[in-house]
Amino acid sequence: MKAEESIDFQLRRTWTSLMRYYNAKAKAESATVAMAMVLLAIPPDGMPSTHIGPKMGIESTSLSRILNVLEERGMIERNRDKHDKRKSIVFLTPAGKKQRDKSKSEVIQMNKMIADGIGQKKLLTCLNTLEEINNILEQQIP
């Protein structure tokens, strides 16, 4: 089997292309893809900082750096949980909401670009197939 014929090669290649695309967009905003992903992950009513990393698959040290940069740029604020003072709840500021909306718009635009390029039917087939692959793999993880 040639590398190009394997599922993992094509998924890795696609992920790399996607990240290069998003990195170029983020660079224009003096940001990073990781920063945009964190902003997109925080719901309007906030989220405990300890939940963000596992939700996104980011290690706590990397997440801490990202949160510090976002806080320095005025995009998030961290408040103590009213019920458990040991916990920190992360909220988007107005500037963070604005940047999140830009990031969300980029995601929508990229999805539209792909759908326009390959057609809605192929896109839905691709998404359904990826979901099936994920389900198969999840069943194999102990």
- Determine the structural domain holding residue 91 and report its residue range: 3-140
Three-state secondary structure readout of 66-88: HHHHHHHCCCEEEEECCCCCCCE
Domain count, the chain: 1
Residue-level pLDDT, tens digit, the chain, 142 residues:
898 889 999 999 999 999 999 999 988 888 899 999 999 999 988 999 888 988 888 888 889 999 999 999 999 999 987 877 778 899 999 999 999 999 999 999 999 999 999 999 999 999 999 999 999 999 998 8
Query: pLDDT tens across 82-102, in order?
Result: 877 778 899 999 999 999 999
| CATH value at residue 93 | 1.10.10.10
SS3 content of the chain, % helix, strand, coil (to 5): 70, 10, 20
